[in-house]
Structure 1
Amino acid sequence: MKRALITGVTGQDGLYLSELLLSKGYEVYGLIRGQNNPKFELVERLVPGVKLLTGDLTDMSSLIRALNVSRPDEVYNLGAISFVAYSWENAMLTTDVTGKGVLNILEAVRLYSGDDPAKVRFYQASSSEMFGKVQEVPQRESTLLWPRSPYGVAKVFGHYMTINYRESYGMHASSGVLFNHESPRRGFEFVTRKVSQAVARISLGLQDTITMGNLDAKRDWGFAGDYVEAMWRMLQQDTADDYVISTGVTHSIRELLEVAFARVGIEEWEHLVTQDPRFMRPAEVELLIGDSAKARDVLGWTPKVGFEELVGMMVDNDLALQRAQARL
């Protein structure tokens, strides 16, 4: 039985990855931060087979303890402060967790592995936000990184540190440069879930309007449940490497709104949406679209869930949640 340790296990990726690994017969350990973490019960309810350990990416001693307890064959570092807007408000904490936290877990894995640097296979969750001010369309593994947020800068540090540990110590360390991936388990602070929840509430008469930022920004959106399979496939390769994971199709925030409102039968939606400069980024990333040909050719990975299916899945989920809460 293989053993895996997942940091960031409480996020959407951690939950879907846990389900995938458990279905493959893994013994799965999840790292959870803080005492009395409110998401403890969420993990226990959705993936009860996961063994939870307390630890923090900013505390290497806790990471070493977690490695000694879990004795993993694979480590998936999904932990981060991942809400881009928040990274401008607290750039220091974002740097400590999302950037330096990668160094901490890499060093902990290196020390744990001893004389066998490839003893533990390591996955780093890199991000399309690293491309930022895009220098090439579509973006691929060789595209110049030009991050446009503290979050993106921190992710670039972690990405290159992963490459450095692979090249310096011979670790089996791979990075997945994941483009935007969403699900009904996405946090409410993210734009896709903000839209799906608001559309559900508007359709039920529980909310009048939704306030947005830039409606013209474009993203390459996929389903988180598809993307975690790519993570797993990377660590099954004989040689570690980096891969762009994306759908190769881009949609604007405006299109996201249109599909979401159409799901609840609202065709004329413009008057239900207002814009507020507070929701505009200081440095916008206008167009992200990935070329995942390498993942297709080497890993045999392709996305299964399309954009409209994904948005529909999220809106339907929030409709059910809002009806239950309002007892409609």
Structure 2
Amino acid sequence: MPTALITGITGQDGLYLAELLLSKGYDVHGVIRGQNNPKLDLVRELLPDVRLHNGDLTDMSSLIRALRDSDPDEVYNLGAVSFVAYSWENAPLTTDVTAKGVLNILEAVRLHTGDRPEAIRFYQASSSEMFGKVQEVPQHERTLLWPRSPYGVSKVFGHYMTINYRESYGMHASSGILFNHESPRRGPEFVTRKISEAVARIKLGLQNELVLGNLDAERDWGFAGDYVEAMWLMLQQPRGDDYVIATGETHSIRDFLDEAFGHIGIDDWTPYVRQDPRFMRPAEVDHLIGDASKAREVLGWKPKVSFRELVAMMVDADLAATQQGW
């Protein structure tokens, strides 16, 4: 039975990845920050077979303990301060967790494996936000990185540190440059979930207005459940490498609104949506679209859930959750 350790297991990707690994017969362990973590009960309810370890990406000694106690074959580093807007409000914390935290877990793995650097296969969650002010369309593994937020800069640091440990120490270390991926488990602070929750509440007569920022920003959106499969596939390869994971399709916030409101029978959403400059990014990332041909050719991976199916899934889940909460 292979063993995996996941940081960031309380997040959207961590939950889906843990479910996937359990279905494949893994012994799954997760690092969770704080004894009173508000998501602890959720993880225990959804993943009763996962063993949890108290740890923090900013505390290398806790990571060393988690590695010692779990003795994993694979480590998936999904932990991060992942909300881009918040990274401007607290750039130092974002840097400590999302950048330096990668160095801490890489170094902990290196120390744990000793003279057997290939004994643990390592996955780093890189991000399309690293491309930022995009230098070419679509973006691939060799596209110049030009991050436009403290989050994006932190992800670039972690990405290159993973490459450095692979090249310097012979570690089986891979980075997945994942483009935007959503699900009903997406945090409510993210724009896609903000929209699906609001649309559900508008449908049920509980809300009249949805306030958003830039409606013209374009993203390459996929389903998180599809993307965690790509993470696993990377660590099954004979050597570590970097892969763009994306659908290859771009949609604007307006497109997301069209699909979400259309799903509840509202063709014209303009009476319900208001723009507010407070929700505009200081430096916007305008046109992200990924070229995942390497992942298709090497990993045999391709997305299964379409954009329309993803939006419908999210709206339906929020409709059900809102009705259940009455």
Q: Which residue of 2 aligns with 1:93?
A: 93
CA separation in 1, counterparts of 2:171 and 2:239?
10
CA separation in 2, counterparts of 1:269 and 1:193?
16
| Structure 2 counterparts to residues 267-282 of structure 1, below 5 A | 267-282=267-282
CA separation in 1, counterparts of 2:121 and 2:280?
39
Query: Deviations along 1:207-254, whole A, 9 cap, x unmatched?
Result: 001000000000000000000000000000001100000000000000
Deviation at 1:47, TM superposition (A): 1.5
Deviation at 1:17, TM superposition (A): 0.3
| Structure 2 counterparts to residues 227-242 of structure 1, below 5 A | 227-242=227-242
Further displaced range: 39-48 or 58-67: 39-48
Deviation at 1:143, TM superposition (A): 0.1
* Partner SS state of residue 117, structure 2: coil
| Structure 2 counterparts to residues 125-274 of structure 1, below 5 A | 125-274=125-274
Identity %: 76
- Do structure 1's residue 11 and structure 2's residue 48 form an aligned pair? no
Q: Which residue of 2 aligns with 1:117?
A: 117
Deviation at 1:324, TM superposition (A): 1.2
Give, as a single letter, the amino acid of the residue that structure 1 aligns with 2:265. G
Query: Deviations along 1:253-312, whole A, 9 cap, x unmatched?
Result: 001011000111111211100000000000000000000000000000000000000000
CA separation in 2, counterparts of 1:269 and 1:231?
36
* Partner SS state of residue 112, structure 1: helix
CA separation in 1, counterparts of 2:234 and 2:269?
42
Deviation at 1:325, TM superposition (A): 1.2
TM-score (norm 2): 1.00
CA separation in 2, counterparts of 1:270 and 1:57?
43
CA separation in 2, counterparts of 1:181 and 1:304?
12
CA separation in 2, counterparts of 1:58 and 1:151?
16
* Number of equivalent positions: 326
Deviation at 1:191, TM superposition (A): 0.4
Further displaced range: 102-111 or 41-50: 41-50
Q: Which residue of 2 aligns with 1:285?
A: 285
CA separation in 2, counterparts of 1:185 and 1:168?
37
TM-score (norm 1): 0.99
Give, as a single letter, the amino acid of the residue that structure 2 aligns with 1:208. N
CA separation in 2, counterparts of 1:144 and 1:209?
39
CA separation in 1, counterparts of 2:94 and 2:35?
20
CA separation in 2, counterparts of 1:48 and 1:314?
24
Deviation at 1:116, TM superposition (A): 0.5
Give, as a single letter, the amino acid of the residue that structure 1 aligns with 2:27. E
Query: Deviations along 1:51-109, whole A, 9 cap, x unmatched?
Result: 11110000000000000000000000000000000000000000000000000000000
- Do structure 1's residue 23 and structure 2's residue 29 form an aligned pair? no
Q: CA RMSD in A?
A: 0.4
CA separation in 2, counterparts of 1:144 and 1:252?
23
Give, as a single letter, the amino acid of the residue that structure 1 aligns with 2:30. G
* Partner SS state of residue 118, structure 1: helix
Runs of 4+ in 1 over 2 A off after TM superposition: none
- Unaligned runs of at least 5 residues, structure 1: none
- Unaligned runs of at least 5 residues, structure 2: none
CA separation in 2, counterparts of 1:206 and 1:80?
33
Further displaced range: 30-39 or 278-287: 30-39
Give, as a single letter, the amino acid of the residue that structure 2 aligns with 1:306. S
Q: Which residue of 1 aligns with 2:305?
A: 305
Deviation at 1:36, TM superposition (A): 1.1
